[in-house]
Structure 1
Amino acid sequence: MKRRRFVKTISSAGLGLMAARVPLFGSGSPSEKVVVCVMGLNGRGTVLAKTFAKTPNAEVAAVCDVDSTVLAKAAATVSQAQGKSVKSLADFRRALDDKSIDALVIAAPDHWHAPAAILAMSAGKHVYLEKPCGHNAREGELLVEAQRKHGRVVQMGTQQRSAPRSMEVVQAVREGLIGKPYQARAWYANTRGTIGRGKPAPVPGNLDYELWQGPAPHTPYHDNVIHYNWHWFRRWGTGEIANNGTHEIDVCRWALGVDRCTRVTSTGGRYHFDDDWEFPDTQEAAFEFPGGKTIIWEGQSCNGLATYG
């Protein structure tokens, strides 16, 4: 499997950075299929698997999840979409052992993103990785180091980069539609409810909780974490700013033409509920860049009031 075929396939699926641009390769490009395994199926993973399943020159060989109920449902859905059965794996490492699989698609919780990607590259696999690329900044650096070491293709899923409308708007801004841009504002608002106070509980029989925790510090099972509320716990999640803010901040960086910031200031807190949620539900973060450029992001996880700009 050629690296350029992998890039072309994920781009044509609407997953790549260069989708909807000029064709990447000429008519002499190789025609091999990209064979993938999709890891983490209770949400984005099933969407990605169905997309790959319907994409020319791609095949979903296997799907993987630590929850057997989720796994069975997703396997049936993807098999139907593809018109061909897929393997069901409880442990993604079995996909890394499979020489017929070219790439690992990672949509597991955030604490697994960088470790799974690095293991995949070490096994010779290419990687499509849902945002954020890591659980913290250092993991992002380790991911880059691994990519350079192993020479694999790594694509992070910030889908606005492949949205035609976003491309048009960013191009217009860069061409001077509003003059010289120096500040961008972005926000996310929702009306999320309380996650309550979790109680110790038996691990459900359909869940491999030890593997779900994986590289994170292990803790006894509580009844208010899986499958979504892990986002709001620091050992597994990254809070609203990396859950949804990632997308908005990335578009701002793209439009302003900036890379690394030189200074960050942030304020906020958990104001709406007294519960186990460990991140701010109300937050404002300012990112300063060379050239006097600034991005300001506002997050309102539990206050769905409209923000006007």
Structure 2
Amino acid sequence: MYHSRRKFIHHAGKLVIGAGILGSLPLELIAAQRRYISPNDRIGVGVIGCNGMGFSDLQSFLKNSACFCAALCDVDSNVLNRRKLDLEKAGLTAPKLYKNYQDLLADQAVDIVIIGTPDHWHCLQFLDALSAGKDVYIEKPIGNSIAEIRAMELASARSGRVVQVGQWQRSLPHLEDAHQYMRSGKLGRIRTVKAWAYIDWVSAVPKAPDGPVPAGVDYDLWLGPAPKRPFNPNRFHFNFRWYWDYAGGLMTDWGVHLIDTVLQFMEPEMPQSIMASGGKMAFLNDAQETPDTLTAVYNFRDFNLIWEHTLGIGIGNFNRPQGVAFLGENGTMVISRADWEVIPHHKNIEAVPSQKSQGASGLDLHVQNFLEAVAVKEPEAAKASIGIGARVGIVSQMGNIAYRSGQALHWDAEKGKFKEKEANGYLRREYYNGYKLLSEK
């Protein structure tokens, strides 16, 4: 029965996804290409946090005709009403609207939950979604601390639910081709890997005074387990990611994507040591807390990983704004979301010219993979399962901890903590406002 269900989901999404090969589709075009599906075969999707990526994820789900938007949840009623209007204008079913995510989880019409909230809310909402019996598509990074990530991985294993982390580069066909080339051994022994994100489309965040909470916003619910602070527009919506209370800056925003490719291709054990250096070097006096410029060096047993990120500069290594380079003894493989190529070092290896990304978007393919895993109830069929998201989430957190502690750190894999006592204070984030992590209850 499950395999026939998987076949049904595959074919229900094939027409609409195929139409999106050249890029994202407006909602109106998605709606126009959806096919009629019997109510008995429909999959209700609920979105928690629908201002940014949560709504982008939903649009990919709606490219599969079996999916419909059953509910939207956001602490900002302005966002809720705008998203509902977006769906109605496209001729799609109007969803139920919730301000408190617990009410959405109690909705029996919701089968799958998309978590697109700021990072500091991911863990609690994920744990509650699993407890409510939902399959979960969660935006990266999965958690905001190593302790949260461990709790999420454990709860997921116990639940048996299907989880997909939004590390959608795992579903890009050209990266799968590059992975096959890596396995051929032609590059020779790899001793150094570089991963980087150079972001010039994010500008400085000018300092702004605290002010009144905007009408329609439940600010206490937005803060949740984060420290109680006066409302400041700089910390709200997109810019939350530049503040330690809620996120980890570019290291956890982009690092989880690119470092994940390193872990996928190299399959290493956890790093033995980590050191990091950086700071506010692009926008010296703006309001951001997290470093806009950072270099982190991870020593794995067989190779070093060098991570670089910076704001205000748009071109990085190998003339690419973001990417991963595997430096082998025979040649270097350079990978980005757009392409991959091989640059030879010796005559005994041939150059591979740029192999461009082709086909449907990585996000669309990632969502389709998740739906097929849900159909057969196989958590490990998800290409970015909870274990994959947890592993790269922890490694990215390590880089931030090395930076914030100002120390060269050494990881004790057996004990699951650093050998440096001071750094272990960063393994867990304190919860406020009466919230507790499940393992603390």
What is the TM-score with the length of structure 2 in the denominator?
A: 0.61
Distance 1:146 1:3 in 2: 26
Aligned-residue offset at 1:239 = 0.7
Letter in 2 for 1:249: I
* Aligned equivalents of 1:3, 1:112: Cα separation in 2: 34
Q: What is the correspondence of 1:193-272 to structure 2 with a 5 Å cutoff?
A: 193-272=203-282
The 2-side partners of 1:230 and 1:177 are apart by: 43
Q: How much does 1:82 deviate?
A: 6.9
Is 1:296 the equivalent of 2:306? Answer: yes
Are 2:89 and 1:76 equivalent residues in the alignment? no
Structure 1 counterpart SS, 2:204: coil
Deviation at residue 245 of structure 1 after TM alignment: 1.4
Matched with 1:54 is 63
Shift in alpha-carbon separation, 1:177–1:80, aligned structure 2, 3 A: farther
Bigger helix share:
2
Q: What aligned pairs does 1:81-230 form with structure 2 within 5 A after superposition?
A: 83-191=92-200, 192-230=202-240
Q: 1:149 to 1:82 in 2, by over 3 A?
A: farther
Instruction: Name the counterpart of 2:421.
Output: none
Count of residues in Structure 1 that have an aligned counterpart in Structure 2: 291
Letter in 2 for 1:73: R
The structure having more radius of gyration, on CA atoms, is 2
> Retained in 1: the 8 A contact 2:46–2:110?
yes
Give the 3 Å change call, closer, same or farther, for CA 83–107 of structure 1 in structure 2.
same
96 and 208 in structure 1: CA distance in 2 versus 1, 3 angstrom threshold? same
Quick check: 1:44 aligned with 2:29?
A: no
How far apart are 1:129 and its partner, in Å? Answer: 0.4
Q: Which runs of 5+ in 1 are unaligned?
A: 15-30
Which of the residues 289, 303, 306 maps onto 1:278? 289
Structure 1 CA distance, aligned partners of 2:78 and 2:234?
18
Matched, 1:307 2:317: yes
Q: Deviations for 1:114-163, whole angstroms, at most 9, x for unmatched residues?
A: 11100111111111101000011111100011112222211111010011
Tell me the distance in 2 between the aligned counterparts of 1:79 and 1:170: 42
Secondary structure of the structure 2 residue equivalent to 1:278: coil
**In structure 2, distance between residues paired with 1:226 and 1:54:** 30
Normalising by the residue count of structure 1, what TM-score does the alignment of the two structures yield? 0.86
Looking at structure 2, the residues matched to 301 and 222 of structure 1 have their Cα atoms a distance apart, in angstroms, of 22
Output the CA distance in 1 between the equivalents of 2:90 and 2:277. Answer: 45
2:245 match: secondary structure? coil
1:81 deviates by 5.1
Q: Contact 1:184–1:256 at 8 Å: present in 2 too?
A: no
- Residues 83, 275 of structure 1: alpha-carbon distance in 2 compared, 3 angstrom cutoff: closer
After superposition, the CA RMSD in angstroms is 2.6
Structure 1 residues 9, 214: closer, same or farther in 2, change over 3 A? farther
Measured against aligned partners, the alpha-carbon deviations of 1:96-130 in whole angstroms (never above 9, x if no partner) come to 11122112110111111111100111111111101
